[in-house]
Amino acid sequence: MASTASRRSGVLGWRWPPGEERAEHTSTVESFTDRARPGPGDLRYLGLSIRVCRIVLFVILLLIVILFVTLFGVQTSALLKQAIATNKVIDMNCSTNQAPATYVPRLHRDSIFSIYCSRDISTHDLFDIITPDFEACMDSCSNQRYIATGTTEIQQANQSSLSRPCEAVTFVPQLLNTTLALEWEWGGNCFLKYGPLSTADLKPNPRRGGDEFLCNAAIILS
């Protein structure tokens, strides 16, 4: 019987006394758990620690911000240059003080305008219209003058302001924006004026609500 028990013991192996085996097993599990539990800097994602991932993410976000600011700055600069270039065309370079002293209309060339940048003629209104630029404004004045002085029937019909020949203009580039023109209840950006007029009628740029409107005036010399 003893030999049989010995063989069983040999096959089954050594059995720890009650309590000791459980304590050893628990200690082994706790030791393994302590070794496997990662610290704050040991967590990993795609092979990189969380700390490194945070740094990489910060650098990427910083590069995106720099790229956005650079592209926005380039676009803003381009729009500003385009606006300046467009304004030069609209006001015949009055905004840069490089406008010519005179202008001869493209159609009725018997009228010569003397140009006065950053000046306004606030009286003697005939009517106001919308023109794409300063030159077209003066052309319109010349055309009206040709009709008013060359049509006897109009002169005989009435002596209203519409029948008076145009002698000068005030052109406001800002009012090419029709929304702004409607806001200030102005019907256009080109204001035709009847005479007689002289340089004494030229006034500084007008203001409305604290806003200065950059005006350019022109008076017919002959």
Query: Mean pLDDT in runs of 10 for the chain (222 residues)?
Result: 46 52 50 49 56 74 74 48 53 82 86 92 88 93 85 54 83 80 76 91 76 85 76
Beta-sheet pairing, 166-171 with 190-194: antiparallel
Q: Residue 153 is inside which H or E element, if any?
A: helix 152-157
pTM across the whole model: 0.56
Per-residue pLDDT at 149: 77
Per-residue pLDDT at 201: 92
Distance CA 170, CA 89 (A): 16
Distance CA 75, CA 21 (A): 76
Distance CA 120, CA 139 (A): 18
Distance CA 98, CA 129 (A): 25
Per-residue pLDDT at 5: 46
